[in-house]
Amino acid sequence: MSSNIIMRQEFEYLVVLAQRRFSFMYGVAHGMSYLLDPRHIGDGLPADSRSSLEEVLINSPVDNVTPIDDDHKEKLYIQFTAYFIFATKER
């Protein structure tokens, strides 16, 4: 750093702090809302982020009793796909 305004350790600390704050503010819940918002439906999300958010959605339990099996995942995926098609048409 050539400006000598802050020391290197302070700079590194601030970078880590900013990264943690970004991760906290824009974590899974924020990504999920962006994915499911009919105005956006995940437009512009990187493919890996979108894929991991869809996986979280499909693997989310309905309640504490219902098991997450392949049938449950398939139903959720069908619902999500139908929602995505509907939201895309409504734009």
Predicted confidence (pLDDT) at residue 25 exceeds the cutoff of 80: no
Rounded average pLDDT over 13-25: 87
User: pTM above the 0.85 mark?
Assistant: no
Confirm if 77 and 68 have CB atoms less than 8 A apart: no
The closest of 44, 48, 35 to 84, measured between CA atoms, is: 35
pLDDT score, position 24: 77
Domain residue extents for the chain: 8-90
